[in-house]
Amino acid sequence: MERSVNMERSYNKRQEAKPHIAEEWVGKIYTFICIAFLVITIFSMVYFVASKGLSTFIVNGVNAFDLITGVKWNPDIDIPQFGALPFIFGSFSTSILAAIIAAPLGFCAAVFIVELAPKFGRRFLQPVIELLAGIPSVVYGFVGLSVIVPLFRDLFPGQGIGIAAGALVLSVMILPTITTIATDALSELPAGLKEGSYALGATRWQTIYRVALPTTMPQQMTGIVLGIARAFGEALAVQMVIGNAPHIPHSLFESTSTLTSAITLSMGNTAMGSVQNNVLWSLALILMLMTFVFVFIIRFLEGRKKL
């Protein structure tokens, strides 16, 4: 690419090159401003959340270690206790369980779209799954509360709310992410690999299981981690079905809480600058740091791409 630009320069006469150079600069500056804006926005957000989140420890003197490992959350009593472990536990268990439910479904859907019924799959199933991504989380939460919670209440011990209900709602929400990436990965698979496998007499399932799945594994994992990241940050839908008790639950059907639901429930009720409010920003900071971790995992996985 560099070379072609150089070639272009040498072919041009000087007077013709001048407007081109000016034009070049317009393009460079315009796109650079755009990207600069993006980077500045992100940095200001990170700075902002970090400065608010850290003030719990600096201004209010809450011990960071206690916050992460404590299991008692009583922000409004005389000697407040801020133990966020139940939230962290809730966030992880719900989003990972959601991924465990959604990952096989997403993979099967992708296989269906790419291998089994490309015509029907691409024209019908894929748009339909992508549609799931467009349904607002409020609606998901409400459907969860009206359908899944009563169903679980009848089927299992407990009140229907809890990790299981939250994970189920989330699994539907992250299905599009996982399916889209899995579909892309499978369809990018070089035809030669598959044909080679078929030529050796392998069945379709053997080809999928032994060739397609291992080769596309890093991308599949990327999709799953991306799904977990999305589930981790989802707030309104989870808050409606998880119960929000700040305790580590004993079963999948017992009320518990996540980082996001704790933040949404109390952020508006607490006064800015109070310790009760600052500690919620600390939860947001944890949430953000987790986002970084997920992105790092994804980049690590992408680095291992076999294609």
Partner 1 sequence: MSAKTVDKIATGVIMCVAGFIIAVLLGLLGYILIRGVGHISWDFLTSAPESIRAGGGIGPQLFNSLFLLVLTLIITVPLGIGAGIYMSEYAKPSKLTSFIRLVVEVLSSFPSIIVGLFGLLVLVNKFGFGFSLFSGALALTIFNLPLMVRITEQGLRGVPPQQKEASFALGISKWKTIRSVLLPIATPVILSGTILAAGRIFGEAAALLFTAGMSSPRLDFTDWNPLDDRSPLNPFRPAETLAVHIWKINSEGLAPDAPQIAAGASAVLIIMVLVFNLGARALGRYMTNKFTAAK
Partner 2 sequence: MKKILTLAMALTLTVSLAACGNKDKDNNSSGSESSSLSGSILAVGSTALQQLADTTAQKFMDKNSGVSIQVQGGGSGTGLTQVADGQAQIGNSDVFAEEKLDADKAATLVDHQVAVVAMAAVSNKDVGIDGLTKQQLVDIFTGKVTNWKEVGGKDEKIQIINRPSSSGTRATFEKFALGTKTEDLAGSIQEDSSGTVKKLVSETPGAIGYLAMSYLDDSITTLKYDGVEATVDNVANGSYPVWAYEHMYTKGEPDAATKAFLDYIASDEVQNGDVVELGYIPTSKMQVKRDAAGNVTK
Q: Which does 276 bind (CB under 5 to 8 A by kind): partner 2, partner 1, none?
A: partner 2
| 256 SS3 class | strand
For partner 2, the closer CB: 70 or 297:
70
CA dist list (Å): 39 to 45, 133, 289, 298, 300: 10, 26, 17, 20, 22
Binds partner 1 by CB under 8 A, chosen from 50, 68, 202, 213? 202
279 binds partner 1 (CB under 8 A): no
For partner 2, the closer CB: 207 or 261:
261
Per-residue x/- marks for partner 1, 102-131, CB under 8 A?
--xx--xx-xx---xx---x---x-xxxxx
Q: List the structure tokens of 142.
A: 């409400």
49 binds partner 1 (CB under 8 A): yes
183 binds partner 1 (CB under 8 A): no
The most distant pair of C-alpha atoms in the chain lies apart, rounded to whole Å, by 82
Closest separation between CB of residue 275 and partner 1, Å? 17
164 binds partner 1 (CB under 8 A): no
For partner 2, the closer CB: 46 or 267:
267
26 binds partner 1 (CB under 8 A): yes
| Strand (E) or helix (H) holding 82 | strand 81-82
Closest separation between CB of residue 124 and partner 2, Å? 33
Q: Which of residues 66-95 bind partner 1 (CB under 8 A)?
A: none
For partner 2, the closer CB: 115 or 254:
254
Q: Phi, psi at residue 304, to the nearest 5°? A: -95, 5
* 17 burial type by CB count under 10 A (0-12 exposed, 13-18 middle, 19+ buried): middle
75 binds partner 2 (CB under 8 A): yes
Closest CA to 158 of 250, 45, 83, 68: 250
Q: Which does 247 bind (CB under 5 to 8 A by kind): partner 1, partner 2, none?
A: partner 2
Binds partner 2 by CB under 8 A, chosen from 243, 260, 284, 294? 243
Binds partner 2 by CB under 8 A, chosen from 12, 51, 63, 74? 74
| Strand (E) or helix (H) holding 73 | strand 73-74
Angle, vertex CA 80, rays to CA 74 and CA 81, nearest 5: 60
137 binds partner 2 (CB under 8 A): no
d(CA 55, CA 292): 20
* 164 burial type by CB count under 10 A (0-12 exposed, 13-18 middle, 19+ buried): buried
136 binds partner 2 (CB under 8 A): no
Closest CA to 301 of 213, 211, 227, 220: 220
For partner 1, the closer CB: 72 or 299:
299
150 binds partner 2 (CB under 8 A): yes
Q: Which residues contact 222 (CB under 8 A, 6 or more apart)?
A: 181, 298, 301, 302
Q: Phi, psi at residue 81, to the nearest 5°? A: -115, 130
Which residues would be at the binding site for partner 2 (CB under 8 A)?
30, 73-77, 145, 149-150, 153, 159-161, 240, 243-247, 249-250, 254-255, 257, 265-274, 276-277
